[in-house]
Amino acid sequence: MEDQLAILHGLWEEPDGWSYDGKQVSIRDASFVPKPVQRPHPPIIVGGEGSPRSLRLAARYADECNMSSVGPETCAAINARLDDECRKIGRDPATIRRSVMAGLLMGADEAEFQVRVKAQLAMVGADDSDAAAWLEERRPRWIAGTPDQARAMVARFAAAGIERMMLQDLLPRDHAMIELAARELIGQV
C-alpha cells in the first residue's frame, strides 16, 4: 500500500521522467499524461481502525483519514495519534480532513425505529431474540435511534474532530429512512 500511495503522488505531482524505488515496486522514467486537472490532485483517503501503520501512511500521503466501525471516543484517540504522526514528519495535522464511516439506523419515533431494528436483524439473518445484544453492540459507533438520538451521536463525532461522515445504510430498499436521515441530519447538527 505504501508503494501504491507513493506512486500515485509521484505520477500525479512529479514531472515526467520521475522514478521510484519502493519495497515491492520500482518505476523508471515514468510518463503520466494527462495529469489530474484537480489541484493539487484528487483527494487520497486512507482509512481503517487507526493502526500505527495506517496512521503513518495517512500522515505522509492522505488528504483525508477515514475511520471505520469506531465510536466518537475512539475517533478522538485516533485523531490524537494521527496528529502525533503528522508532527513527527513536519506536517500540519490540520491539513488532513477527518472522517468516519458509521452505520445508520433511524426511525421517526421509537416505534418506527424498532420496526427498522427488526428489518435490519432479518437482513443479517438474526432473529428478534438477538435484537437487544445486536443493537447494544452497535449503538456506541452507529447513528441509531430517533432523530434526536441520531443528532446527539453526530454531535459527539463532531466533538471528537470528525469533519465528514459517511453513513452506511444496510437497509438499501428503505428509502424512507434515507429521506428521514437527510431531513433530520443534514444541516441540523
Residue 103 has phi, psi (to 5 degrees) of -65, 155
List the domain boundaries for the chain. Answer: 1-42
Contact 88, 155 (CB under 8 A): no
Q: Mean pLDDT, 10 residues at a time, over the chain (189 residues)?
A: 89 90 92 85 89 95 95 97 98 98 97 94 80 87 97 97 95 94 86
- Specify the pLDDT at position 33: 86
- Specify the pLDDT at position 135: 86
- Specify the pLDDT at position 189: 63
Q: What amino acid is encoded at 38 in this protein?
A: Q
Q: Does this model's pTM top 0.75?
A: yes
Tell me the C-alpha distance between 145 and 119, whole Å: 14
- Specify the pLDDT at position 68: 93
Rounded (5°) CA angle 67-171-159: 30
